[in-house]
Amino acid sequence: MMMMMMMMMMMMMMMMMMMMMMMMMMMMQVLIARECKECSYLKVLCLQGYTPAPHDDILQLLHISSQIRTLQKAVLFPETYAFPGNIEEERQANKYHTLRFSYRYLELRGRPDIVLE
């Protein structure tokens, strides 16, 4: 019984560490994008993660991307299989919704010319 509890605690700690690492990666994406604002000839920004970024991070990345005047393409989203959903159609719908929202945001920021992936 005691051994089982210890194993459960270890698993929980490992999961927490993994979540913290993912959060740090997302924060790094935003920090890198901020530095890219100074690149006057940047045409493509690629900050694709293994999983879709949280909504707040996506907004920050889109905001920063819209400020890079020479930017033509931003690769921010993972492949369809990484989006939440039990079946392929749900994952496709979630990615489509995220891309639609993102294009709308860029349009409102005056940058409908940026291609998203």
CA dist 116 and 61 (Å) reads 11
User: Residue 76: pLDDT band by 50, 70, 90 thresholds?
Assistant: very high
pLDDT for position 22: 60
Residues 62-77 have a mean pLDDT of: 93
Between residues 26 and 92, the one the model is more confident about: 92
pLDDT at 19 over 80: no
**What ranges in 1-117 are assigned the alpha helix state H?**
2-36, 55-67, 88-108
The pTM assigned to this predicted structure is: 0.75
Residues 88-109 have a mean pLDDT of: 96
